[in-house]
Chain A
Amino acid sequence: MNESTLSTPRRGVPLWAQIIIWVSLLALLGIVAVELNRSQQGQVGRGDKISNFTMPLFSGYELNGQNQFNLADYHGKVVMVNFWASWCKPCEQEAADLEQAWQFYRSDGRVVFVGVDYVDTEPKARAYLAKFSITFPNGPDLGTRVSQLFRIKGVPETYFIDPQGILQYAQIGPFSSVDDIKSIINPLLK
């Protein structure tokens, strides 16, 4: 009788199904963890190595005759990356100061400015650039790839990359004067 009790077939989920369920669950948890980690990372910070990126430039706003900006091409120079948009009112506060700073450094050749037009329409962006007589290289952030690389939270935001490609300063919000900008760039040139 005891034997018959022991030999009763065990009903339940088969082992292979259990393995599949657990592996799938772990994979899903892994994906969620990676995505959560990415979203919680915050902006790039001082000392972070900035990965290379390329972006197209608006015609009339090319750099050295090239209609594509490639960060790696400017290794050895100070690179200022400014995120802006035509619909952004605080961006207007710093637009003239940025252009003035560019005029100050452009002949030096050791500093490169690049404007990244974030989530904008080209006609409005061009009108904005014309309104503030901006001449430094500017281009659209196609597919928001550059802003995702810097993990920006809004505009304006400005990032200063030293000649070794390391981020040295991040300005969140507009600059208050040209001197503000110079005070960040000058130490990086020494």
Chain B
Amino acid sequence: MEDAMSKMQNSKTQGRKTQNAIALPILLALTCGLVLASQPYQKVFAQQPVPTPSDDQVNQIAHQLYCPVCEDTPLDVCPTEACRQWRDLIRQQLSQGWTEQQIKQYFVQQYGVRVLDEPPQTGLNWLIYILPPVIILAGAFILFRALRMWTKPGSASAASGSKDETVKDEYVARFEEELKKRK
């Protein structure tokens, strides 16, 4: 009987050991699974090709540039091979994610500031921006003063009148002098 009891006890202990041996790895696996599941996973999308920039996008930048070969013709409408190559380069740079400013800077570095439609506001270039408004303002001021002088009542006649009066005075003085002599 005791043997039977001890056998049962042993088998229970054995069963617990077996249960523990199975449960522990399952628990560990679950823990690992939970830890992994709690980690933010990185979404992976199918890579989309970068859209080719449209002609309008290219021309928007090209319009602000001038090729030194074809003076006075903006790059967007210039028909030469050199300008076509430049437009291709702009398209390529846009498709690589370059900004408008970066592209313009590249062209200035490569070909000089004369490629820009608007000269940078540095050095003597300031004259281009300052002189026209200054000349216009000065001209308007001079015109305003001249108009005011011309339209001022009696200003012209006053000047000539005083002269007449001077002449008249001299004449009257001489006339009176002559009269006195005759008397």
Contacts and interface: CB of A to CB of B under 8 A. Distances in A.
Interface of A: 1-2, 4-5, 8, 11, 13, 21, 28, 31, 85-87, 119-121, 124, 140, 142-145, 148
Given A121-B89, A144-B68, A148-B112, 7 more contacts: A5-B163, A119-B67, A119-B69, A119-B111, A120-B82, A142-B110, A144-B112
Contacts of B86: 121
Chain B, interface size: which category? 20 to 34
Given A1-B166, A5-B163, A11-B149, A87 B82 contact: yes
B135 to A, nearest CB: 10
B81 A87 contact: yes
Contacts of B82: 85, 87, 119-120
A1 B169 contact: yes
Interface in B134-177: 138, 142, 149, 162-163, 165-166, 169
B112 A1 contact: no
B114 A144 contact: yes
Contacts of B149: 11
A150 B81 CA distance: 23
Contacts of A140: 110
Interface of B is mostly: helix
B80 A87 contact: yes
Interface centre among B85, B88, B149 (most CB of A within 10 A): B85
Contacts of A1: 162, 165-166, 169
Q: Give the most central of A2, A142, A143: most B CB within 10 Å.
A: A143
Contacts, number: 50
B127 interface: yes
B124 interface: yes
A54 B163 CA distance: 74
Given A5-B163, A31-B124, A87 B110 contact: no
Contact of B112 (A4, A13, A145): A145
A145 B85 CA distance: 21
B131 interface: yes
B124 to A, nearest CB: 7
B174 to A, nearest CB: 15
Contacts of A8: 162
Nearest to B134: A24
Nearest to B89: A121
Contacts of A5: 162-163, 166
Central interface residue in A8, A11, A119, A121, by most chain B CB within 10 Å: A119
Contact of B85 (A2, A86, A144): A86
Contacts of B85: 86-87, 120-121, 124
A87 B85 CA distance: 8
A21 B162 CA distance: 33
B109 interface: yes
A154 B111 CA distance: 15
A13 to B, nearest CB: 8
Given A2-B166, A5-B163, A120-B85, A28 B131 contact: yes
A110 to B, nearest CB: 33
Nearest to A154: B69
A124 B142 CA distance: 57
Interface string B39-75: 0000000000000000000000000000111000000
